[in-house]
Amino acid sequence: MSSLTTVIKLSLYEVRVRIRSQRMVILGPLLILFIPGSVWGFADPNTTLPGQIAVDGAPTVMFLSSLFVLLSATLGVVLVGFDAISRPRMTGELAIDLAQPIDRRDLAMAHLFGVWGTVAIPVATLQLLSLGLIYRQMDIVPDPLDSGIWIMSTALLLFWYASLQLTASSMAQDLGSSVTFGVATWLFFTLLWLLVTVVIATLLGVDATDTSNLEFIRFQEHADLFSPNGVYQLILQSRLPEVARPTVHPVHLILSTIGWTLLPTGFYLQRFRNLKP
């Protein structure tokens, strides 16, 4: 059996076990409420959004619902993955895994895909369902490219969070510190990033008191390249009508996407390679 087949089979096993776990039973309704729920609301032609935001097509609905994806699905990865390495390490199950005739890199990837798939599969299913909701509410068939980018970028975002969370789990001394690290990372990128951006902008002399200031908007978009959430939203924003597209150069966005995909994963694989039971 090739190592790729082994990785896929192990990942699917992990997904099967984790998806039936109690925490997914709690997380499931939350995802349903946040993803199809937000799409249902944003796609309603009678909805009036604050800040004169006009919903003029499916990409806008997808972009607006990304906020709810960031609040629910990424937290889901944190909750599913916080003990993926630290618990088996504490119980001794990891020693058994490491004693098996399998490359450590393959084992690490199986854990990563297992955690990622546990959240990404239900999220992608709900996103497909949401496309139906857009059609029902707005009477338009979402463009396959827009839909594909929405689903793929969400999957990519969850992959970034999974690799960050598994790195944390491999470093944690106990389950508490592992979940703390995961939640802190989530809070930092989800809620505190704007504050960090404002502080840095102010320190660099960019006027951050007026959020509609073009200079600040440009600065914020560039700063977002250093945040997984920011990159995710920039990708979706690039599918919006011309006036609402980000000022970030597409090459920078692509490089940042590649960076967020390779760097945390590479660091996690390196850690796993040197892991002691």
Residue ranges binding another protein (CB under 8 A): 1, 6, 9-10, 13, 17-18, 20-22, 86-93, 95-103, 107, 171-174, 276-277
Q: Which DSSP string corresponds to 143-190?
A: PHHHHHHHHHHHHHHHHHHHHHHHHHHHH-SSHHHHHHHHHHHHHIII
Considering the complex, state which of residue 13 and residue 129 has its C-beta at the smaller distance from another protein: 13
CA nearest to 88, candidates 116, 118, 108: 108
Considering the complex, state which of residue 177 and residue 190 has its C-beta at the smaller distance from another protein: 177
Task: State in angstroms the smallest separation of the CB of 117 from another protein.
Answer: 15
Task: State in angstroms the smallest separation of the CB of 90 from another protein.
Answer: 4
Considering the complex, state which of residue 31 and residue 107 has its C-beta at the smaller distance from another protein: 107
Q: Is 159 exposed, middle or buried (0-12, 13-18, 19+ CB in 10 A)?
A: buried
Task: State in angstroms the smallest separation of the CB of 162 from another protein.
Answer: 18
Considering the complex, state which of residue 93 and residue 215 has its C-beta at the smaller distance from another protein: 93
* DSSP secondary structure code for residue 57 in this structure: S
Q: Is the dihedral of CA 69, 75, 76, 81 positive or negative?
A: positive
Task: State in angstroms the smallest separation of the CB of 153 from another protein.
Answer: 30
